[in-house]
């Protein structure tokens, strides 16, 4: 008999609620599974768009990778189903929504809030890398907040198993480390770079290498042209952590377990995460 997990879902199993957001490939809705009354998020993707963008293999990889992941800071993908024209992802519902909207609202986060987020993301990445998975697309748009305000990494559409590395370009350029911009081989150190970019953006409200032109952003990334503005005030300990993560040579980036022992994290992160 089918377990709950690989039941063949159909759209009529769900009551569809308010739209939660719209992405490049489709919309996300609040939904309730009728039998269990379980609240989920349902992402609706159009097959035509997936075919036209030739990303079906990425979607299959995302579902495969996500089916083995269980971590409090990783958004669950419970399953998927499809009909004639659409593919549906059954996702854990993140009740406090998208982190990037919260960052836009607050302009930048406090050092305690930032350290708490960075520590929980580091623990999630340690778990992921332990399973030979790299996310490769860590940025505010892919972070959601659970009902207790805890961070959830979402959208593994660009993640890969580290043995079959791809050189495809991911979303925004701001988060790409030098080795991905220079299209050389890359490994799980790419996520450490992106976490450093995220830490900077949480504290200053902007990513460190932002520029008007893509070509200028490329140049600043490969040069690691890291500058810390005088405002808002950020402690030397925070700058020290960021400087140890945004290192061109990926092998010299601060390992994630060392990040969790860094004085700035120890003194500022809320242990509950």
Ligand X SMILES: Cn1ncc2ncnc(NCCc3cnc(NC(=O)Nc4cccc(C(F)(F)F)c4)s3)c21
Which residues are part of the catalytic machinery?
A: 137
Q: What is the closest distance, in whole angstroms, from the C-beta atom of residue 144 to ligand X in the complex? A: 5
Q: What is the closest distance, in whole angstroms, from the C-beta atom of residue 213 to ligand X in the complex? A: 27
Specify the residue, 176 or 246, whose C-beta has the smaller distance to ligand X: 176
Specify the residue, 62 or 174, whose C-beta has the smaller distance to ligand X: 62
Q: What is the closest distance, in whole angstroms, from the C-beta atom of residue 12 to ligand X in the complex? A: 21
Specify the residue, 89 or 121, whose C-beta has the smaller distance to ligand X: 89
Residue nearest ligand X, CB atom distance: 157
Q: What is the closest distance, in whole angstroms, from the C-beta atom of residue 92 to ligand X in the complex? A: 6
Which residues are near ligand X by CB under 6 A?
A: 20-21, 23, 25, 28, 41, 43, 45, 50, 55, 58-59, 62, 75, 89, 91, 93-94, 97-98, 144, 154-155, 157
Specify the residue, 20 or 221, whose C-beta has the smaller distance to ligand X: 20
Q: What is the closest distance, in whole angstroms, from the C-beta atom of residue 71 to ligand X in the complex? A: 14
Residues 6+ apart with CB under 8 A from 161: 61, 65, 132, 133
Specify the residue, 98 or 201, whose C-beta has the smaller distance to ligand X: 98
Q: What are phi and psi of 108, to 5 degrees?
A: -150, 165
Q: What is the 3-state secondary structure (H, E, C) of the chain?
A: CCCCCCCCCCHHHEEEEEEEEECCCEEEEEEEECCCCCEEEEEEEEHHHHHHCCCHHHHHHHHHHHHCCCCCCECCEEEEEECCCEEEEEECCCCCEEHHHHHHHHCCCCHHHHHHHHHHHHHHHHHHHHCCEECCCCCHHHEEECCCCCEEECCCCCCEECCCCCCCCCCCCCCCCHHHHCCCCCCCHHHHHHHHHHHHHHHHCCCCCCCCCHHHHHHHHHHCCCCCCCCCCCCHHHHHHHHHHCCCCHHHCCCHHHHCCCHHHHHHCCCCC
């Amino acid at each position: 008999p089918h377990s709950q997990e690989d039941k063949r879902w159909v759209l009529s199993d769900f009551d569809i609620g308010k739209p939660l957001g719209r992405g490049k490939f489709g919309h996300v809705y609040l939904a309730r599974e009728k039998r269990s009354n379980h609240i989920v998020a349902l992402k609706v993707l159009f097959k035509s768009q997936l075919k036209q963008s030739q990303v079906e293999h990425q979607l299959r990889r995302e579902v495969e990778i996500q089916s083995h992941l269980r971590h409090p800071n990783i958004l669950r993908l419970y399953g998927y189903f499809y009909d004639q024209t659409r593919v549906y992802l059954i996702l854990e519902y993140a009740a406090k929504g998208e982190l990037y909207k919260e960052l836009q609202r607050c302009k930048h986060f406090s050092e305690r809030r930032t350290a708490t987020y960075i520590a929980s993301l580091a623990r999630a990445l340690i778990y992921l890398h332990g399973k030979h998975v790299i996310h490769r697309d860590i940025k505010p748009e892919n972070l959601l907040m659970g009902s207790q305000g805890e961070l959830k990494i979402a959208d593994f559409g660009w993640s890969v198993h580290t043995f079959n590395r791809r050189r495809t370009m991911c979303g925004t350029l701001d988060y790409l480390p030098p080795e991905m911009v220079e299209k050389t081989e890359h490994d799980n150190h790419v996520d450490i770079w992106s976490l450093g970019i995220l830490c900077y953006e949480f504290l200053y409200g902007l990513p460190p290498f932002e520029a008007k032109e893509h070509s200028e952003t490329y140049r600043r990334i490969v040069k690691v042209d890291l500058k810390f503005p005088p405002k808002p005030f950020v402690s030397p300990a925070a700058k020290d952590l960021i400087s140890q993560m945004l290192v061109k040579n990926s092998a010299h980036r601060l390992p994630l377990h060392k990040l969790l022992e860094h004085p700035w994290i120890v003194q500022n992160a809320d242990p509950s995460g």
